């Protein structure tokens, strides 16, 4: 991708969004690690995955932030132009390649499905996630319209499969629960659709004729907002689902945080 000239405000907007994303991931990591102690053993794997997701994303945002900073330089006129150092967008895709399968697994884990159903669902969704990200990448790094559209369309096939499967499973899982848990599961479904749906839309922006500086800024800001919601917000939902299931099962939810191990 060629880096267009940016106004002072455009460069700063991306710079500050990337910085905000780092803060959100680090804070969520600390929260998820501590919150795990409040859950009974069967829900801890889901929280460990939430922590891994924001940990991995926090690291990558730090790399993306530094790469963005190095790729641009301030001119005397107060605008930003390419410094000659490449902006490494691959960090984002490497991040997704690791975190998207974990996000899927996290949700399947908290559903507490029968073991066989869980394993087969997780397996298929993890393969589909890897395919979705892998097929999107060649289109992301090109300036060519057709190439972007073709890879984008291919990547959308596993995307639809994942969203459909989770949508159906969440409905099925919601059915057997108490009211509070059911509402939480339904809301998680909406959060999933709204946040995940954002990625292909941001990706298509250049296809809709949003070009040059606006496209670069919209893409970076769009992906950052989507990542914060889809990783931090979603992790919080998973935590609340687990708590709600514990309450419904009559398990103690007020157990004090244990500092020392037995
Ligand atoms: C934390 C990161 C998440 C939840 C990333 C999700 C990414 C997607 C749902 C990406 C989907 C794409 C398409 C459906 C088509 C165009 C290419 C992608 C990879 C942007």
- At 107, which CATH number? 1.20.1070.10
Q: How confident is the model at residue 211 (pLDDT cuts 50, 70, 90)?
A: confident
**Mean pLDDT on 228-256:** 89
- Reported as a single tens digit per residue, the pLDDT across 167-201 is 998 888 888 889 999 999 999 999 999 999 999 98
Pocket flag, ligand 1, residue 196 (CB < 6 Å): yes
**Per-residue buried b or exposed e for 160-184, using 16+ beta carbons within 10 Å of the residue's own CB:** ebbbebbeebbeebbeebeeebbeb
Coil, helix or strand for 10?
Answer: helix
- Does residue 262 form part of some domain? no
Are the C-beta atoms of 95 and 56 separated by less than 8 Å? yes
Task: Give the domain range for residue 103.
Answer: 8-249
- Does residue 259 form part of some domain? no
**Mean pLDDT on 57-61:** 98
- Does residue 221 form part of some domain? yes
pLDDT at 144 over 80: yes
- Does residue 2 form part of some domain? no
Residue 223: what pLDDT?
A: 93
Query: Distance between CA 10 and CA 218 in Å, rounded?
Result: 10
Residue 148: what pLDDT?
A: 92
- Does residue 148 form part of some domain? yes
pLDDT at 255 over 80: no
- Spell out where 72-137 has E strands: 72-74, 80-82
User: CA 82, 222, 143: angle at the middle one, nearest 5?
Assistant: 50
Residue 162: what pLDDT?
A: 96
Query: Distance between CA 216 and CA 7 in Å, rounded?
Result: 12
Distance 200 CA to ligand 1 centre (A): 6
Pocket flag, ligand 1, residue 136 (CB < 6 Å): yes
User: CA 44, 46, 52: angle at the middle one, nearest 5?
Assistant: 105
- What is the number of H-type helices and E-type strands within the chain? 8, 2
Give percent above pLDDT 70 in the chain: 96
pLDDT at 239 over 80: yes
Residue 172: what pLDDT?
A: 86
Cα separation of the two ends of the chain: 54
What mean pLDDT, rounded, does the chain reach?
92
Distance 8 CA to ligand 1 centre (A): 29
Q: How confident is the model at residue 260 (pLDDT cuts 50, 70, 90)?
A: low
| Domains contained in the chain, number | 1
- Does residue 1 form part of some domain? no
Rounded to a whole number, what is the largest CA-CA distance in the chain? 66
Nearest atom in ligand 1 to the alpha carbon of residue 93 is: 19
Residue 1: what pLDDT?
A: 63
Nearest atom in ligand 1 to the alpha carbon of residue 159 is: 14
Query: Distance between CA 159 and CA 195 in Å, rounded?
Result: 13
Pocket flag, ligand 1, residue 148 (CB < 6 Å): no
Pocket flag, ligand 1, residue 206 (CB < 6 Å): no
Q: Whose CA is nearest to atom 1 of ligand 1?
A: 227
Q: Whose CA is nearest to atom 10 of ligand 1?
A: 199
- Does residue 205 form part of some domain? yes
Is the pTM higher than 0.75? yes
Looking at residue 73, the DSSP 8-state letter turns out to be: E
Pocket flag, ligand 1, residue 200 (CB < 6 Å): yes
- Does residue 254 form part of some domain? no
Q: Which residues neighbour 159 within 8 Å (Cβ) at sequence distance 6 or greater?
A: 132, 196, 200
Distance 45 CA to ligand 1 centre (A): 24
pLDDT at 49 over 90: yes
Q: How confident is the model at residue 27 (pLDDT cuts 50, 70, 90)?
A: very high
Candidate from 95, 166, 200 with most ligand 1 atoms within 8 A of CB, to mutate? 200
């Amino acid at each position: 991708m060629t880096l267009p000239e940016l106004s002072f405000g455009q460069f700063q907007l991306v710079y500050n969004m990337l910085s905000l994303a780092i803060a959100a991931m680090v804070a969520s990591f600390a929260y998820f690690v501590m919150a795990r102690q409040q859950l009974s053993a069967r829900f801890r794997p889901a929280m460990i995955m939430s922590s891994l997701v924001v940990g991995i994303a926090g690291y990558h945002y730090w790399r993306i932030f530094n790469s963005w900073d190095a790729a641009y330089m301030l001119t005397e006129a107060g605008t930003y132009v390419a410094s000659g150092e490449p902006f490494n967008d691959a960090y984002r895709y490497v991040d997704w390649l690791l975190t998207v399968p974990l996000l899927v697994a996290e949700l399947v884990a908290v559903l507490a499905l029968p073991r066989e159903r869980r394993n087969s669902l997780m397996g298929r969704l993890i393969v589909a996630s890897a395919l979705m990200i892998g097929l999107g990448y060649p289109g992301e790094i090109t300036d060519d319209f057709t190439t972007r559209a073709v890879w984008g369309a291919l990547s959308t096939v596993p995307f639809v499969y994942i969203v459909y499967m989770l949508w159906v499973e969440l409905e099925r899982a919601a059915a057997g629960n108490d009211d509070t848990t059911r509402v939480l599961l339904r809301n998680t479904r909406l959060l999933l659709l709204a946040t995940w749906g954002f990625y292909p839309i941001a990706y298509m922006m250049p296809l809709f004729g949003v070009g040059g500086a606006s496209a670069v800024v919209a893409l970076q800001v769009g992906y950052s907002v989507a990542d914060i919601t889809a990783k931090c917000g979603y992790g919080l939902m998973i935590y609340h689902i687990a708590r709600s299931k514990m309450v419904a099962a009559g398990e103690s939810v007020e157990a004090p945080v244990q500092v020392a191990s037995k």
